[in-house]
Amino acid sequence: MPVDVDGKLRPHTKTNSCSLRTDCPAGPSRTVRTGPLVCAEVRATQLGRNVPRTASGGGAVNAMGTQDRSAARSPVRWSGLVWYLILAVLALGVVWSLWTPAARAQASVNLHAAQADAFVHGRLTLDHGLPDAASYSGKSFSPYPPAPAVLLTPVVAVFGLHGPTPLLLAFVLSGVAAIYALRICRRAVMQSRQAQVLTLGLLLGTAYWSQVIDGNGVWGLSHVCAVAFLLVAFDSALRGRGLATGICLGVAFLSRQFTICALPFLLALLWERVPTTRRRWAVVRVLAPIGVLGGAYLVFNAARFSGPIDTGYSYIRLTGFLQARVDEHGLFSVAYVAFNFTYMFLQGFHVNYRGATMLHANRVDPFGTSLPAASPFLFFAVKAHQSRTVMVAAAVSIGTCLMGILLYYNNGFLQTNAQRFSLDFVPMLFVLCAFAVPRLKTRWWEAAVWYSIALNFLALVVLGS
C-alpha cells in the first residue's frame, strides 16, 4: 500500500508498487515509483531504524534515507579479489610445473615428432634407439596411433625435429579443451561460475595437468590430443552435428584407441537432439568418417607390421616387471585386474620418503593415485539427470572403456597423483557432471573440485619441484 513521508497510508488498486513523495528543500517535490521492499524500508526509516537491503538491493538504508553501499559491495569486492588471487596462484603453479619439461625439450625427441619427421621425408620407419619405439623386422616404428604425429607434421617441416614443439602443441590443444569444456557447460545450462570451476577441475584436478607437463613425451601428447578432440565431439553431438561428431571422435581414436568407446554415448546424445526424420542420416554421418579414419589406421598398421589389426604394441622394448608381465600373461589378461582395480579405485595419495633418516620426501607413488582419492568431484556424475537412453549409453561407454583398462598389462606407470588411462573416459564423466551440477542443492561438488586441484598442486608443483 502506498505511503507518504508523513506516515499516512493511502490505498491503491492497480499495482504492487507504491509512490514515495519526497520534498526537497532545494527544489519542488517529486514522486518516485518504488517497490514493496522500499516501502518497508521507508516505514522502518520513519521509526529511526536502519534496514538492510537484500544482496541484490545494493546496500543498507540509513536514517537519512541514503544507502550505505560499502557494506554490500565489500563482500563482493573481496570475493572477486580472492577468486583472482586463486587463479593467479594456479597460473604460477602451472608455469612452474612446466618450466623444467620445457627446458629439457631441446635434449629429447618426442616419438610423435619423430614420426612426423618421417612423414616429411616420405617414410614410415624411425631412427633406431628412440625410447618406446617398436622393433619389427629389423626396423624401428612408432606403435602409437598417428593423429598427434599428423598434427605435428607441418610444424616439424618448418621448425625441425628438436625443440619444445610437442609441448607447444599440448598448450594449444589445452586451450581448445578449455573452450569446448566451457561450451559443454553452457549447453548443460550451468551458471558461469559453475562452468568455470568445473572446467578448472577437468584441466587441473585430474590426470590432464600431469599429461600436459609430459606433453613433450609420446604418452602425454597422445592424452592431451584425445581429450581435446573428444570434448569437441561431445559439443558437436549436443548441437546435433553428426559429421563433426564423427570426425572428432575418429581423431580422438587415432590418438588413444580406447576413446572409441564413447561412440554409444555420443550417438545417444545426438539421437535426442536431431529431428526424428533425420536421426538415421545423423547416425550415418557419425559413422562414415569414423569408418574412413579407422580404415586408414588399418592400412597404416598393415604397411608397418604383420597385418591391419597389429598395432605394434607387442614389439615395444620393455624392461623389468612390465616385460615379465607380458612374457607370462600377454598384453591383456584377467591377471592384471586386481592390481589395476586397486590403483584405479582404492589407492590413496602416497608420498615416498628417502635418505638415511627417511624424512626427505622423494616423490609420490609412481603407480599413481586412485580416481576417488585424486578427483572425487567426477563421481557427482551419478547425479546427472538425462533420459534412460542417454544414461544407459553413458554407462556402456564408460564401462567398456574401464574394462579394457583393467585388463591391460600396465596401469599407466609412470604417473603422478593420477591414473592417466582414466583420461580415456574422464571427458564422459565431465559431460555427466555438467548435466548434474545445475540440479545439485549442495556445493560439496565445488569443494571436491578445489580439493582435487590442491592435491595436484601439492604433487606436481610442491613435491614435483
Task: Report the relative pairing of strands 351-354 and 134-136 from DSSP bridges.
Answer: unpaired
Residue at which a domain ends, from 33, 52, 68: 68
Q: Residue 202: CB partners within 8 Å, gap ≥ 6?
A: 177, 181, 208, 426, 427, 430
The single-letter code of the amino acid at 229 is F
Whether 12 is in a domain gets the answer no
Three cell numbers at 315? 614389439
Instruction: Name the residue range of residue 28's domain.
Output: 18-68
Whether 214 is in a domain gets the answer yes
What span, in angstroms and rounded, lies between the C-alpha atoms of 397 and 399? Answer: 6
Whether 337 is in a domain gets the answer yes
Give me the helices (H) in 11-106, please.
Answer: 36-46, 70-104
Number of domains present in the structure of the chain: 2
pLDDT of residue 188: 94
Residue at which a domain ends, from 33, 68, 103: 68
Residue at which a domain ends, from 45, 68, 91: 68
Q: Residue 46: CB partners within 8 Å, gap ≥ 6?
A: 5, 7
347 and 221 in a single domain? The answer is yes
Whether 266 is in a domain gets the answer yes
Query: Largest Cα–Cα distance of the chain, in whole Å?
Result: 101
What span, in angstroms and rounded, lies between the C-alpha atoms of 405 and 412? Answer: 9
pLDDT of residue 150: 97
64 and 185 in a single domain? The answer is no
What span, in angstroms and rounded, lies between the C-alpha atoms of 332 and 336? Answer: 8
262 and 382 in a single domain? The answer is yes
Whether 405 is in a domain gets the answer yes
Whether 439 is in a domain gets the answer yes
Residue linked to cell 586397486: 342
3-state SS class at 189: coil
192 and 53 in a single domain? The answer is no
What string of pLDDT tens digits covers the 465 residues of the chain? 554 544 444 554 444 444 444 444 444 444 444 444 444 444 444 444 444 444 444 444 554 445 554 444 455 566 678 778 888 888 888 888 777 666 565 556 789 999 999 999 999 999 888 888 999 999 999 999 999 999 999 999 988 887 778 989 999 999 999 999 999 999 999 999 999 999 999 999 999 999 999 988 899 999 999 999 999 999 999 999 999 999 999 999 999 999 999 999 999 999 999 999 999 999 999 999 999 999 999 999 999 999 999 999 999 989 999 999 999 999 999 999 999 999 999 999 998 888 888 888 877 899 999 999 999 999 999 999 999 999 999 999 999 999 999 999 999 998 999 999 999 999 999 999 999 999 998 889 999 999 999 999 999 988 875
What span, in angstroms and rounded, lies between the C-alpha atoms of 392 and 4? Answer: 63
What span, in angstroms and rounded, lies between the C-alpha atoms of 147 and 104? Answer: 24
50 and 181 in a single domain? The answer is no
pLDDT of residue 14: 46
Three cell numbers at 34? 518504488
Whether 119 is in a domain gets the answer no
Q: Residue 151: CB partners within 8 Å, gap ≥ 6?
A: 169, 225
Whether 126 is in a domain gets the answer no
296 and 409 in a single domain? The answer is yes
Residue linked to cell 549442495: 442
